[in-house]
Amino acid sequence: MTTLRAIPLPPSEAPRGQQRGRILLVDDDERLRRAYAIMLRRDGFVVDEADSGRGAREQLAAIRFDMVISDIGLGDTTGLELLRTVRSLDIEVPVVLMTGGADLPTAIEAVELGALHYLLKPVERSVLLAAAADGLEAREGARLKRRAMDHYALHATEREAKRELGEQLDRAVPNLLMAYQPIVRASAREIVAYEALVRPQGPDLDNPGLLFDAAERTERLQEVGRAIRSSVARTLWTADRRVQVYVNLHPRDLFDDSLFEESAPLSAFAGQVTLEITERASLREVSDLRARIDILQSLGFRIAIDDLGAGYSGLSSLTELRPDVVKLDMSFTRGIEDDSTKQTLVRSVRQLCAEIGTMLVIEGVETKAELARLRELGCDVFQGRLFGMADAPFRQVDWDCMTPGVA
């Protein structure tokens, strides 16, 4: 309970000349109000004045104050009514009431409404400044308490969200399915590889975006990555040893020691696997990137840059990774038959890859018009719905999809 005070308080020790807080000073006695305002301003407070309850309410509605100092007896209202108004707007704002004629019922009501001090007029300078300093301290304490409560509430909500996501991952990870989309060489009408694409099952994390977002928020990306690689390895055990498969890696998978172990499930098929570095996050966080890539290549894996030209994946990745394969993002494919700028960019990337000995895969090919223009630009290896959706392993391609005029 707030302590009722009507005795002199120790003087403020706060340094002068600094803006210590904003005070609304309310008193219909102009002489006293101006005198008190001068005292407070000289002690470093910003002071707004009001000579009535109406004027005070207007300012309270428009400005956020650190405290209110008000006379009890105002012409159009009382300081107690004003205190109620302050509490309705901001329960944490300290209020100091002043009176020239103290009476016990008024003092009790002031305390019950949460007045910080109840001062007798005329108020001495030291008493006024000490009350203002108390108010500022109370306001800051209330702010810190509120901030702590908000912080706790935020983190409690985040903890609950993470717990729920964790339970969803617990259900999803053991039941991940992999679908395989063909990557083809058009000139030879042959399948050069299949990309393994994760397909989560269940009502919660029912698409890859939700799966990886949940894994990132719960710091379980590596667990999901291991589950994907293990699933691909199980499929390869029963597949033709000539089948080549592309498997996506998040950059944070590169911190997973199990990826580099010769005993890891996928390592047994390293000669059949190209690891696609998917830059959902920047590779810059991998400080020893080159050394880690060297280990993977020494195990027999090939390395690809996925979605070149999208997100973080830029030409700098070519020098960092020195990949065996570059996959050009589908944004370059869409509408390329009518876009000369995209045609110039694709031609340049193709020439660059040819010069450095890197295979170029064009992603997202969906129409015969896109395919025809890309082949005119010298591209030959493609992936996209035109050649087949991601499906069960390892479906063949209906090459009629390349024949003009054939539906």
Please indicate, yes or no, whether residues 223 and 306 belong to a single structural domain of this protein: yes
The string of pLDDT tens digits covering residues 290-341 is 899 999 999 999 999 887 766 555 666 677 778 999 999 888 898 999 999 9
The string of pLDDT tens digits covering residues 65-99 is 888 998 888 888 877 888 888 777 766 788 888 88
What pLDDT was estimated at residue 5? 39
CB 325 within 8 A of CB 359: yes
9 lies in a domain? no
Please indicate, yes or no, whether residues 334 and 382 belong to a single structural domain of this protein: yes
What pLDDT was estimated at residue 7? 34
Region of poorest pLDDT, from 127-131, 159-163, 336-340: 159-163
* pLDDT mean over 188-201: 95
Please indicate, yes or no, whether residues 122 and 188 belong to a single structural domain of this protein: no
Of 86, 87, 77, the residue nearest 28 (C-alpha): 77
CATH of the domain at 226: 3.20.20.450
Q: What six digits make up the tokens of 323?
A: 């990949």
Assess whether pLDDT exceeds 80 at residue 285: no
State the residue range of the domain holding 350. Answer: 176-402
Please indicate, yes or no, whether residues 357 and 215 belong to a single structural domain of this protein: yes
7 lies in a domain? no
pLDDT band, very low/low/confident/very high, at 206 (cuts 50, 70, 90) = confident
Please indicate, yes or no, whether residues 115 and 183 belong to a single structural domain of this protein: no
Please indicate, yes or no, whether residues 73 and 206 belong to a single structural domain of this protein: no
Assess whether pLDDT exceeds 90 at residue 227: yes
10 lies in a domain? no
The string of pLDDT tens digits covering residues 235-252 is 999 999 999 999 999 888
Chain mean pLDDT for the chain? 84
Please indicate, yes or no, whether residues 386 and 304 belong to a single structural domain of this protein: yes
What pLDDT was estimated at residue 283? 66
* 176/173 Cα distance (integer angstroms): 5
Please indicate, yes or no, whether residues 143 and 227 belong to a single structural domain of this protein: no
16 lies in a domain? no
Please indicate, yes or no, whether residues 89 and 207 belong to a single structural domain of this protein: no
* 99/79 Cα distance (integer angstroms): 9
What pLDDT was estimated at residue 209? 85
* All residues at 6 or more sequence positions from 100 whose CB lies less than 8 Å from its CB, including other chains: 73, 120, 121, 122
What pLDDT was estimated at residue 119? 81
What pLDDT was estimated at residue 150? 60
Region of poorest pLDDT, from 18-27, 67-76, 103-112, 269-278: 103-112
* 181/137 Cα distance (integer angstroms): 66
In what order do the strands lie in the sheet containing 67-71? 46-50, 22-26, 67-71, 95-99, 117-120
Assess whether pLDDT exceeds 90 at residue 404: no
CATH of the domain at 32: 3.40.50.2300
Assess whether pLDDT exceeds 70 at residue 264: yes
pLDDT band, very low/low/confident/very high, at 188 (cuts 50, 70, 90) = very high
* pLDDT mean over 362-369: 94
What pLDDT was estimated at residue 57? 86
Region of poorest pLDDT, from 118-132, 237-251, 352-366, 367-381: 118-132
Q: How many domains is the chain partitioned into structurally?
A: 2
* 286/322 Cα distance (integer angstroms): 15
167 lies in a domain? no
C-alpha R_g of the chain: 36
The string of pLDDT tens digits covering residues 28-42 is 888 989 999 999 999
CB 303 within 8 A of CB 324: yes
Of 34, 72, 77, 36, the residue nearest 57 (C-alpha): 77
* 329/93 Cα distance (integer angstroms): 56
Please indicate, yes or no, whether residues 222 and 356 belong to a single structural domain of this protein: yes
Give the end of a domain, one of 94, 129, 147: 147
SS (H, E, C) the chain: CCCCCCCCCCCCCCCCCCCCCEEEEECCCHHHHHHHHHHHHHCCCEEEEECCHHHHHHHHHHCCCCEEEEECECCCCEHHHHHHHHHHHCCCCCEEEEECCCCHHHHHHHHHCCCCEEEECCCCHHHHHHHHHHHHHHHHHHHHHHHHHHHHHHHHHHHHHHHHHHHHHHHHHHHCEEEEEEEEECCCCEEEEEEEEEECCCCCCCCHHHHHHHHHHCCCHHHHHHHHHHHHHHHHHCCCCCCCEEEEECHHHHHCHHHHCCCCHHHHHHHHEEEEECCCCCHHHCCCHHHHHHHHHHCCCEEEEEEECCCCCCCHHHHHHCCCEEEECHHHCCCHHHCHHHHHHHHHHHHHHHHHCCEEEECCCCCHHHHHHHHHCCCCEEECCCCCCCECCCCCCCHHHHCCCCC
Please indicate, yes or no, whether residues 36 and 134 belong to a single structural domain of this protein: yes
* 117/3 Cα distance (integer angstroms): 8
Q: Is-above-0.75 flag for pTM?
A: no
How many C-beta atoms surround the C-beta of residue 234 within 10 A? 11
The string of pLDDT tens digits covering residues 367-388 is 999 999 999 999 999 999 999 9
94 lies in a domain? yes
What pLDDT was estimated at residue 360? 96
* 319/321 Cα distance (integer angstroms): 6
327 lies in a domain? yes
* pLDDT mean over 267-296: 84
164 lies in a domain? no
What pLDDT was estimated at residue 116? 78
Strands 325-328 and 302-308: parallel
Please indicate, yes or no, whether residues 90 and 216 belong to a single structural domain of this protein: no
What pLDDT was estimated at residue 99? 84
pLDDT band, very low/low/confident/very high, at 153 (cuts 50, 70, 90) = low
